Amino acid sequence: MNAVPDFRVKLAETEDEMRAAQRLRYRVFVEELGGDGPLVDHDAGLEQDRFDPFFDHLLLLDDTKNGAVVGVYRLLRDDQAKHAGQFYSEDEYDLSVLRSSGRRLMELGRSCLDAKYRGGAAMFHLWQGLARYVADHNIEILFGVASFHGTDAADLAEPLSMLHHNHLAPEALRVCAKGSSFQDMNLISNDKLNRPSAMKQVPALIKAYLRLGGYVGEGAFVDHAFNTTDVCLVMDSKRMSKKQKNIYSKGVAG
């Protein structure tokens, strides 16, 4: 990039904006990561699913590139989930503990950045927009699946075990992976774990959630269609420290 990006964050309002988000998702989740799905449109280059119409889609645009969509976040509040019939994550995780909490919930998903914008200020701006949305809707608990590339648990034994031993959610927030795709994350005992090595293998987005005081649910979910191993992250605004809240409200450079 030659020019310094001029970022703007907004919700998708038009069909064209939705398609731009789905094209970015296609480049990242399908072309880069090898994902697929029943509604993915390979001819048009669109990563889409049946939940898209129910979500709000937070867009990061670069106005130096004619408003090109360079980052996206998919957001589903509890009131929207009622219309969808479920949260997206409920295909993978039992969310009973969250649903029965009586608190305002919001699911996060499909977060990605254009490859040219990673490692800089782009994620900072996207998180700022997310923080404003959370405040506007009085959201108390945020959650969603985040992914490791690949489906071989042996290759991911170190980071999965580190998350299990050091960041497992308290029982009141401990969602659980379900079905035959459940993968135990307790693969290496804590005393034999090389934490620095494990942390190096954790994707930047998951690290960002951990810095904010995020927890992981019980078990990972192996998603063969998307070629990922998913963990469910949960953040409780009441449990966040003042320092963590300041980081969140100012954004996180992932």
Residue 59's pLDDT band, with cuts at 50, 70 and 90, is very high
Q: What is the pLDDT of residue 22?
A: 98
Q: What is the mean pLDDT of residues 207-233?
A: 92
Answer yes or no: is 151 within a domain.
Answer: yes
pLDDT at 252 over 90: no
Counting the structural domains of the chain, the total is 1
Q: How confident is the model at residue 245 (pLDDT cuts 50, 70, 90)?
A: low
In a domain? residue 1: no
Residue 2, domain member (yes or no) = no
The answer as to whether 130 is a domain residue is: yes
**Three-state helix/strand/coil letters over the chain:** CCCCCCEEEEECCCHHHHHHHHHHHHHHHHHHCCCCCCCCECCCCECCCCCHHHCEEEEEEEHHHCCEEEEEEEEEEHHHHHHHCCCHHHHCEECHHHHCCCCCEEEEEEEEECHHHCCCCHHHHHHHHHHHHHHHCCCCEEEEEEEEECCCHHHHHHHHHHHHHHHECCHHHCCEECCCCEECCCCCCHHHCCHHHHHHCCCHHHHHHHHCCCEECECEEEECCCCEEEEEEEEEHHHCCHHHHHHHHHCCCC
Domain assignment present for residue 210? The answer is yes
Q: Domain holding 193: CATH number?
A: 3.40.630.30
In the predicted structure, residue 224 carries a pLDDT above the cut 80: yes
Tell me what pLDDT residue 178 has.
94
pLDDT at 36: 84
Looking at the chain, the whole-number percentage of residues with pLDDT higher than 90 is: 77
Residue 195 predicted with pLDDT over 60: yes
Q: What percent of the chain has a predicted confidence (pLDDT) above 70? A: 93
Is a pLDDT exceeding 60 seen at residue 1? no
Q: Confirm whether 178 is domain-assigned.
A: yes
Would residue 111 count as lying in a domain? yes
Does the pLDDT value for residue 72 go beyond 60?
A: yes
Query: Which of residues 119 and 248 earns the better pLDDT score?
Result: 119
For residue 234, the enclosing domain spans 7-250
